[in-house]
Amino acid sequence: MDSGNDINHMDDVGKTLLNWASAFVTLQMVEYLLENGAYVNRGLKSSSLHYATCFCRPSIAKVLQAHSYKVW
């Protein structure tokens, strides 16, 4: 993320890139975001782990659990 943008920025509905990726994108993208400093617990009402669980993404949930020590 060399663009200078905040990887943990919340959009107008309180979601981060990692929140969206956990629900709708590939495991590789989730891993990329985590490697570049995305916080698992960031989000207005729900964490990325919550989204992965709600959208039945067990492989993503497992990776997020391993990184859930990161707090914001």
Per residue in 13-64, pLDDT tens? 999 999 999 999 999 999 999 999 999 888 788 889 999 999 999 999 999 9
Residue 45's pLDDT is what?
Answer: 81
What band does 1 get if pLDDT is binned at 50, 70 and 90? low
Residue 3's pLDDT is what?
Answer: 64
pTM beyond 0.75, yes or no: yes
Residue 44's pLDDT is what?
Answer: 80
Residue 23's pLDDT is what?
Answer: 94
Instruction: For the chain, give every domain's residue range.
Output: 17-66
Question: For residues 40 and 19, what is the distance between their CA atoms, to the nearest angstrom?
Answer: 8
Helices 27-35 and 17-24 sit at what angle, rounded to 10 degrees? Answer: 160
